[in-house]
Amino acid sequence: MNPASPAIDTDGVTALLERGRTLATPVLRAAVGRLAPPMDTVAAYHFGWIDAEGHPTTGDSGKAVRPALALLSAEAAGAAPEVGIPGAVAVELVHNFSLLHDDLMDGDEQRRHRDTVWKVHGPAQAILVGDALFALANEILLELGTVDAGRATRRLTQASRKLIDGQAQDISYEHRERVTVEECLEMEGNKTGALLACAVSIGAVLGGADDRTADTLEKYGYHLGLAFQAVDDLLGIWGDPDATGKQTWSDLRQRKKSLPVVAALAAGGEASERLARILAADAKKSESEIADFTEEEFASRAALIEEAGGREWTSQEARRQHTTAIAALDEIEMPQQVRAELVALADFVVVRKR
């Protein structure tokens, strides 16, 4: 097997993602159903269960990597996958709380091929429903009433704080001319790594795993999250809009200092310097001027990022994080089947197109 492009077990991964969705979604829907109107409806729209007019849909509700991981997490501790369900639901609730608030803060108008909640239902509902989902996440776990549920909630709370730290960094970086590769990785570790790490430990903690086991599973999850985000950053520039559900050159439109950009700027050389000059000029432009760029203007920036090596570096970084993630699994005992499935999920994360 070539480590650069793992031969993934597509059917196996599809089955794992499907199991996560099948077991977690009914519990997630019941949890969201606890919200008082109109928050229940707004949340159902956000999750893709109804359209803007309130009619049921069979829309795209995301890849569901986190629920799949939470169930595997329980199995890694020798428990039944069902033990991980409240953890899967809580992590999904926190993830979606952050999407609701981030889309509003970032002014993002589209997610999963649909208008974002603040566009359809207004900023106040995006704030409120985000808050409600965050509270609900802790409620779902704590009502289990066990010591392990308290431990799981504590880990979820710490991950949530990192998520918020990451968004704060993301916002502040957008106003800065230069961001280092290290700063970018730290931000992405907070924004994506921490909650994926929690997804991979939460089922095990609910299943009674000790802190060392949970910490090691989090190490796998954290690096998996960094691999996931590196791929997301590639898709944010070179992704197919039909697959990602985002606009073309989505991250360039927002002047995001994502990994390919900061790596290209850090690389030095002629293309890197040319890119730096262009982005410095772009930084002085207004948002509407950037929005009025032609496809060609974005394409030329993307080409410069690639020429400076930002695309290749980010691809390699995804593979490095993938390798580190998988290596962590060797530090603890777990059923062979579970280990193989965690590896397959990691492989999926680095080759996905959406």
How many whole angstroms separate alpha carbon 160 and alpha carbon 201? 14
Comparing CB distances to its own copies, the nearer of 130 and 221 is 130
Amino acid identity for residue 124 in this structure: A
Contact between 118 and its own copies per CB under 8 A = no
Contact between 116 and its own copies per CB under 8 A = no
Minimum gap (Å) between residue 293 Cβ and its own copies: 24
Residue 331: how many other CB atoms lie within 10 Å:
13
Among the listed ranges 152-160, 242-250, 271-279, 335-343, the one in contact with its own copies (CB under 8 A) is 152-160
Give the interface size with its own copies as a residue count (CB under 8 A).
38
Comparing CB distances to its own copies, the nearer of 142 and 290 is 142
Q: What is the DSSP track for 259-324?
A: HHHHHHHHH-SHHHHHHHHHHHHHHTS-HHHHHT--HHHHHHHHHHHHHTTHHHHHHHHHHHHHHH
Q: Burial-class residue 307 by CB neighbours within 10 Å (0-12, 13-18, 19+).
A: middle
Contact between 168 and its own copies per CB under 8 A = yes
Contact between 299 and its own copies per CB under 8 A = no
How many whole angstroms separate alpha carbon 325 and alpha carbon 36? 40
Q: What is the CA radius of gyration of the chain?
A: 20
Decide: helix, strand or coil at residue 167: helix
Contact between 85 and its own copies per CB under 8 A = no
Among the listed ranges 4-12, 159-167, 240-248, 268-276, the one in contact with its own copies (CB under 8 A) is 159-167
DSSP assignment letter at 81: G
How many whole angstroms separate alpha carbon 349 and alpha carbon 354? 10
Contact between 167 and its own copies per CB under 8 A = yes
How many whole angstroms separate alpha carbon 120 and alpha carbon 278? 35
Judged by CB under 8 A, the residue of 139, 183, 297, 306 near its own copies is 139
Among the listed ranges 8-16, 163-171, 252-260, 297-305, the one in contact with its own copies (CB under 8 A) is 163-171
Contact between 132 and its own copies per CB under 8 A = yes
Contact between 161 and its own copies per CB under 8 A = yes
Q: Closest by alpha carbon to 230, among 97, 321, 102? A: 321
Among the listed ranges 10-18, 43-51, 143-151, 260-268, the one in contact with its own copies (CB under 8 A) is 143-151
Residue 106: how many other CB atoms lie within 10 Å:
15
User: Please, which of residues 204-233 interact with its own copies by CB under 8 A?
Assistant: none
Among the listed ranges 46-54, 137-145, 285-293, 327-335, the one in contact with its own copies (CB under 8 A) is 137-145
Paired with 56 in beta bridges are 50
Contact between 164 and its own copies per CB under 8 A = yes
Q: Which residues bind its own copies (CB under 8 A)?
A: 36, 38-39, 97, 101, 104-105, 123-124, 127-128, 130-132, 134-136, 138-139, 142-143, 145, 147, 149-150, 153-154, 157-158, 160-161, 164-165, 167-169, 171-172
